């Protein structure tokens, strides 16, 4: 009897406590702030809070292996472009040295033709790779195919460097442009897919690719200077130069096969897979539905997407087309060394410093990052008034007659380009749900390539403006 009374009393006490706890829970739910979808709510947060909530629960990236794999891919992505533009002297002064009027015209506008042959195919293939895909994640298999194509084309470039093309300089030019077209078609697929995969990981892994892009430029600029100093024969320089590119691409290919066996990567890949299976979107969608998905994602990241386009538009309007044709006035170096050090090497080095700075300082946040990026457009007229001498001559007055002022402008261009490109590429994918982060990363990469393509085209208009 006593035991039964005790049980009833205890039950009443338990029920009363449960009711009170339930009322407290309901009150907390009522008072809790209402959160809108991630693409809108997170825009006003501290940038460091944009990471996935359970990152602390994820497996550790031991020895930062996944980070370095993304870094290697960043180096490999821009290897073709950096190799070709840094070999400017080899192409213009060695392979295209024939003094016929047609070849001379090709030589004078070589950087412009190379830019168009490189970036337009890159833009087209990046767009195709973005909007033509199966499932919710970017296809990683395309990375293997793209790298394999690039290796084959660089082998062809080495063979061309070995043969004497003096009697067919014009044909060599067109073959080189054709190689540039196919190299950068592969690069468009490689770059877009890599950014899409990195977007499913924490922010710093996207920045690892951007950092690798600029480290690629530093490495190639240093390699170019070493080859120029160590091998006086331009043919030998070019052979060593392009063989190194093949080796680096093979390393990137090996690194790709390490990625799927890393627990850290598999954790985030499974998160996206689970999110996709739980989402309302069907696994197989029509083209119109896919476009609607991309439109919805773009609307959430449109500020970041436009910003990354403008960052690279300004950068490629100036570098390398304008910057590499700024002639020294009284600086104590040869023209070749001046361009090699203060254009290619300096630009890529300070772009790397900008990338690294974004790891520790994220100012401004995603809401106002467009303000300094817009002001950065003032660098275009600044460089036009330096001693920029296009192949067609110059009629516009030179207002900045200081080599140091041109060098300083190059430092600002490079550092801000590296810093703000890192910020917006990291911000964008973290403003959307995890299951569409890959799509956001690919959209950001597509806008990046669009900025490069339009910037290269605009650099030709700048040459026309100063020589009008």
Residue 464's CB is within 10 A of a number of other CB atoms, namely 10
Note the pLDDT of residue 25. 47
Domains of the chain: total: 2
Same domain, 342 and 385: yes
Q: With respect to residue 445, please indicate whether it lies within any of the assigned structural domains.
A: yes
**Are 240 and 301 within one domain?**
no
Same domain for 109 and 155, yes or no, is yes
Per-residue pLDDT at 450:
93
State which residues of the chain have pLDDT below 50. Answer: 1-44, 52, 134-137, 283
Classify residue 244: in a domain, yes or no. Answer: yes
Helical pair 79-86 and 234-258, crossing angle rounded to 10 deg: 170
Instruction: Provide the pLDDT for residue 285.
Output: 58
Note whether residue 11 is domain-resident.
Answer: no
Q: Is residue 37 part of a domain?
A: no
Supply the pLDDT for residue 44.
46
Considering only CA atoms, which of 401, 355, 408 is closest in space to residue 379?
A: 408
234 lies in the same domain as 173: yes
Which CATH number covers residue 366? 1.20.1250
Name residue, tokens 């080095």.
349
Residue 313 falls inside a structural domain: yes
Can you point out the beta strands (E) in 344-440? none
Cα end-to-end distance, the chain, whole Å:
108
Residue 10 lies in a domain: no
Same domain, 200 and 308: no
Residues 157 and 116 placed together within one structural domain of the fold: yes
Residues 121 and 252 in one domain: yes
Q: Is 135 left (phi over 0), alpha (psi -120 to 50) or beta?
A: left
Apex CA 312: angle with CA 308 and CA 316, to 5°?
Answer: 175
Task: State residue 248's pLDDT score.
Answer: 92
Sign of dihedral through CA atoms 350, 354, 355, 357?
positive
Do the domain assignments include residue 1? Answer: no
pLDDT recorded at residue 334: 83
Same domain, 243 and 301: no
Tell me: do 112 and 248 sit in the same domain. yes
Q: How far apart are CA 74 and CA 84, in angstroms?
A: 17
Domain match, 110 and 179 both: yes
Which of 226, 261, 296 is the endpoint of a domain?
Answer: 261
Task: Point out the domain boundary residue: 244, 261, 278.
Answer: 261
> How far is Cα 441 from Cα 42, in angstroms, rounded to an integer?
17
- CATH number of domain containing 229: 1.20.1250.20
* pLDDT of amino acid 146: 93
Range of the domain at 457: 287-467
């Amino acid at each position: 009897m006593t035991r039964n009374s005790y049980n009833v009393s205890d039950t009443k006490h338990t029920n009363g406590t449960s009711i009170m706890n339930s009322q407290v829970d309901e009150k907390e739910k009522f008072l809790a702030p209402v959160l809108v979808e991630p693409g809108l709510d997170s825009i006003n947060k501290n940038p460091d809070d944009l990471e996935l909530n359970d990152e602390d629960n994820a497996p550790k990236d031991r020895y930062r292996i996944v980070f370095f794999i993304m870094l290697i891919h960043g180096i490999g992505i821009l290897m073709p472009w950096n190799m070709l533009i840094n070999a400017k002297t080899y192409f213009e002064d060695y392979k295209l040295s024939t003094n016929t009027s047609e070849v001379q015209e090709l030589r004078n506008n070589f950087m412009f033709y190379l830019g168009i042959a490189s970036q337009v195919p890159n833009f087209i293939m990046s767009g195709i790779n973005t909007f033509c895909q199966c499932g919710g994640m970017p296809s990683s298999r395309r990375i293997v195919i793209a790298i394999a194509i690039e290796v084959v084309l660089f082998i062809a470039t080495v063979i061309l460097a070995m043969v004497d093309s003096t009697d067919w300089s014009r044909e060599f030019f067109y073959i080189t442009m054709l190689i540039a077209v196919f190299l950068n078609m592969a690069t468009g697929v490689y770059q877009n897919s890599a950014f899409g995969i990195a977007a499913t990981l924490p922010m710093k892994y996207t920045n690892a690719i951007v950092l690798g892009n600029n480290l690629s430029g530093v490495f190639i600029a240093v390699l170019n200077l070493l080859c120029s100093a160590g091998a006086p024969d331009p043919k030998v320089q070019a052979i060593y130069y392009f063989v190194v590119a093949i080796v680096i691409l093979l390393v990137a290919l090996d690194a790709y096969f390490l990625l799927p066996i890393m627990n850290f990567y598999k954790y985030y890949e499974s998160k996206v897979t689970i999110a996709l299976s739980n989402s309302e979107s069907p696994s197989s969608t029509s083209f119109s539905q896919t476009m609607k998905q991309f439109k919805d994602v773009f609307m959430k990241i449109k500020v970041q997407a436009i910003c990354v386009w403008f960052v690279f538009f300004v950068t490629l309007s100036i570098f390398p087309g304008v910057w590499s044709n700024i002639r020294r006035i009284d600086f104590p170096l040869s023209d070749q060394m001046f361009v090699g050090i203060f254009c290619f090497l300096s630009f890529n080095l300070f772009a790397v410093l900008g990338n690294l700075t974004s790891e520790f300082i994220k100012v401004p946040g995603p809401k106002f990052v467009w303000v300094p990026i817009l002001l950065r457009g003032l660098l275009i007229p600044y460089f036009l008034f330096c001693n920029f001498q296009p192949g067609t001559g110059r009629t516009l007055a030179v207002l900045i007659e200081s080599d140091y002022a041109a060098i300083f402008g190059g430092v600002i261009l490079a550092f801000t380009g590296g810093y703000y490109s890192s910020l917006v590429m990291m911000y964008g994918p973290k403003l959307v749900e995890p299951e569409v982060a890959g799509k956001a990363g690919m959209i950001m990469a597509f806008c990046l390539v669009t900025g490069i393509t339009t910037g290269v085209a605009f650099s030709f208009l700048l040459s026309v403006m100063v020589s009008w």
